């Protein structure tokens, strides 16, 4: 995150997956910022650089899509609810425990 | 949450607390159960955590100064209770997640996908395999990362609120959240769940 200015190169090589350069650090630097990008916490110039990189780097584009999907699924993961009987029983148990202490 | 002089006359403390507690319980038990279930992953542990949370809240209610939102106060109590309960049960050892471990080492790994394109999240989560994979991935997360993910991405709190609850600064919250998301993403995509043809019966369309 401290390398925001240099994290994503302004000009990428050809968008060929065979020349993908994550081993050389460009995409690794991008990976560090993806949550901040998804959460819209980055300055506009950094976002622009990231979008430019994504347009030129299919692997990173797929990667960020899968991370975005992960966040979306987490946000919509269903949670079970208590029944009214469970609510009543738990309240009683809590008050019993409180009075016993 | 710190002790302070009671604001109400001391002559009827026994009457005041149960009334306040009932209101607190009625208004927040569903919220805290949902949080507890997301942290614990199953119902019985979640109920234990809810009871421990409200028991602590009952005992601390007279000292609650209202500096934080009530829900933040309860989230904090629940989070601390969760940590204590897991220690007692000698739960999974905590380990750190480093960013390096999420760097794909092959192109195929980089391009692993989660098959929800063209579906709403609700439709995607009708896929039992995907739903179970998500549950298991979250369950596998070390607790401190799971807590950040649950509070931020599932409970929808701000990074600042999560920091208040977990006793962290925002930067640390975001760092944990990012690692947690990368962990879940890797777990989900590595399962190789594919689009299915049984969308009409709840699966994913191809």
The 10s digit of each residue's pLDDT in A44-95 is: 999 999 999 999 888 889 889 999 999 999 999 998 999 999 999 999 999 9
Chain-chain contact of A20 with B107 (C-beta, under 8 angstroms): yes
| Residue B67, helix vs strand vs coil | coil
Q: Any residues with CB less than 8 A from the CB of B112 and at least 6 apart, and which?
A: A62, A66, B186, B189, B190, B192
* Chain A nearest C-alpha distance from B71 (Å): 18
Which residues of chain B lie closer than 8 angstroms to A58, CB-CB?
111
What is the rounded average pLDDT of the residues A8-28?
48
The answer to whether B121 faces chain A, any CB pair under 8 Å, is yes
| Residue A26 pLDDT | 76
| Residue B205 pLDDT | 35
The answer to whether B136 faces chain A, any CB pair under 8 Å, is no
* Chain B nearest C-alpha distance from A7 (Å): 15
Distance CA B173, CA B167 (A): 9
ipTM summary value? 0.81
Distance CA B106, CA B83 (A): 37
The 10s digit of each residue's pLDDT in B82-98 is: 998 876 665 556 789 98
Which residues of chain A lie closer than 8 angstroms to B58, CB-CB?
94-95, 98
b/e code B151-170 from CB counts within 10 Å (16+ = b):
bbbbbebebebbbbbbebee
The answer to whether B199 faces chain A, any CB pair under 8 Å, is no
What is the rounded average pLDDT of the residues B67-73?
89
Q: Any residues with CB less than 8 A from the CB of A71 and at least 6 apart, and which?
A: A38, B153, B181
| Residue B68 pLDDT | 80
Question: Helices (H), strands (E): how many in chain A?
Answer: 5, 0
Distance CA B33, CA A89 (A): 14
Contacts for A66-69: CB closer than 8 Å, 24+ residues apart: A66/B112, A66/B113, A66/B114, A66/B185, A66/B188, A66/B189, A67/A34, A67/A35, A67/A38, A67/B181, A67/B182, A67/B185, A68/A38, A69/B114, A69/B116, A69/B185
């Amino acid at each position: 995150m401290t390398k925001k200015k240099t994290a994503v190169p302004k000009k990428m090589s050809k968008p060929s997956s065979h020349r993908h350069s994550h081993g050389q650090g460009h995409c690794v630097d991008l990976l560090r910022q993806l949550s901040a990008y998804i959460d819209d916490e980055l300055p506009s110039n950094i976002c622009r650089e990231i979008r430019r990189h994504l347009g030129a780097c299919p692997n990173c584009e797929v990667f960020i899509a899968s991370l975005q999907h992960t966040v979306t699924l987490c946000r919509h993961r269903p949670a079970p609810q208590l029944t009214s009987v469970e609510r009543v029983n738990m309240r009683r148990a809590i008050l019993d425990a409180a009075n016993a202490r | 949450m710190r002790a302070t002089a009671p604001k109400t006359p001391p002559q009827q403390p026994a009457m005041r607390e149960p009334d306040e507690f009932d209101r607190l319980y009625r208004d927040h038990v569903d919220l805290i159960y949902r949080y507890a279930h997301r942290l614990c992953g199953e119902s019985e542990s979640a109920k234990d955590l809810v009871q421990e949370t409200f028991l602590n809240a009952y005992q601390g209610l007279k000292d609650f100064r209202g500096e934080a939102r009530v829900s933040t106060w309860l989230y904090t109590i629940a989070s601390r209770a969760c940590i204590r309960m897991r220690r007692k049960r000698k739960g999974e050892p905590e380990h750190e997640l480093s960013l390096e471990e999420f760097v794909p080492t092959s192109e195929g790994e980089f391009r692993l996908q989660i098959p929800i394109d063209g579906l709403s999240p609700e439709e995607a989560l009708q896929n039992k395999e995907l739903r179970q994979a998500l549950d298991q991935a979250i369950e596998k997360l070390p607790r401190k990362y799971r807590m950040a993910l649950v509070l931020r991405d599932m409970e929808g709190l701000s990074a600042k609120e999560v920091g208040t609850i977990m006793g962290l600064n925002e930067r640390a919250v975001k760092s944990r959240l990012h690692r947690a998301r990368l962990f879940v993403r890797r777990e989900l995509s590595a399962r190789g769940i594919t689009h299915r043809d049984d969308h009409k019966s709840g699966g994913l369309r191809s």
